[in-house]
Structure 1
Amino acid sequence: MNNSITLKIKKVNPDAIIPQFAHEGDAGMDLFSVDDLDINPGECKLIKTGITIELPRNTEAQVRPRSGLALKHQITVLNTPGTIDEGYRGEIGVILINHGKESFSVKKGMKIAQMVIKPVLTVKIQEVQELTDSERGTGGFGSTGF
């Protein structure tokens, strides 16, 4: 079965690296920085990738953290997962935050995040006066125990 779709990518910075999968079968492709900058402890910064994309119809791109940066340096994507909508044509940026105790240097060409392409369902909004009951009901935070 062929689940392949085409993602169109345009470089808007000559230093940009086209996203790539590290291994066959990976869900996420690596995104690379075109910036050289430092992120101090507790600080967040927008890191540019130097690319724009054209997503296939009925898809979104999710920007997710890299586990190695999180484990080794406490660097993560602030609004994870960041959503890139199908119609967006601007440069892809990644908001990184430093939860560590030391400054972190982002270097040009560094892998900074992952991008996963996911299908999007189109839903119709219907306002109603009542919702059907469920077993869970209104049980929220901590309702299933600790």
Structure 2
Amino acid sequence: MATISGPLTGDDKTTTVQALQGALMDLIDLSLVAKQSHWNVIGSHFRPIHLQLDEVTDLAREHADTVAERIVALGANPDGRAATIAKSTKLPQPELGWIEDGKVVATFTDLLDGMSRRMRERIDATEESDQVTQDILIAVTQDIEKQRWMFQAQR
């Protein structure tokens, strides 16, 4: 069986892959939470929030693919399985049923704030271990923080 090797070894590889795996978990679950909310949002601001949740889903999926492929390029295996996400998610989960638009806005403002904090911790963690990964995490954080601002402006 062939294996993939990468440019990092030892602690640098461990630190970097852990940061990327955490980002992958956040991003995959963000896409799921955004889509669940997208299907169930109601209220007078339904349409713009519905469309913004699609934007969040799309950016989360795109970044998740980039992050997972970086893990592989480093010679490790990304774990995006549903059971892994369910066990390790840090994102608050939406309630079942209709969700008022104001609650969606408040939830996503807080959810994206938490993601931003975790992403910034990962950026700091990879500063020495792998600047290529750090650049990827910075790009993810930039998009997360932009979406947070856009939700927060609707409060």
TM range (shorter): under 0.3
Higher helix share goes to which structure?
2
Report which of the two has the higher share of strand. 1
Larger radius of gyration: 1
TM-score w.r.t. structure 1 length? 0.23
Query: Whose RCO is larger (CA < 8 A, sep 6+)?
Result: 2
